[in-house]
Structure 1
């Protein structure tokens, strides 16, 4: 395990990711900071289902016949 040090750059705090981790320049991430201080980076993916085969994620055991009411999902 390697250690890195946070540094100030302008009004931001920067943490450098070692190139050995294979992160590409310009790659985007979502981040989560846990209560214990751990920071998790999650790669941003435009379309999680771009290479999915038809029916691959269909799970009939989860089919409950629910149909959203008008406007119910507008806040999401």
Structure 2
């Protein structure tokens, strides 16, 4: 079994944005059903939440911290691939 260890416990900005967008979309869908009496099927709300949260996560640019961490990882991998001096 392969174990996975996150590089940091703090999620990337894109992950935060996608998660918050999903919560907002679900809340809006529920409010529309309960308080405005709109007959919106639960499946449609689920599709909207999935699409909206994915679109937001895709469109939000990565934070500078994320780009620096990625560049550091790439530099370390390159340094480890060089033959010993």
Query: Does TM, scored on the shorter chain, surpass 0.5?
Result: no
Q: Which is strand-richer, 1 or 2?
A: 1
Normalised by the shorter chain, which TM-score bucket?
A: under 0.3
Structure with the bigger percentage of helix? 2
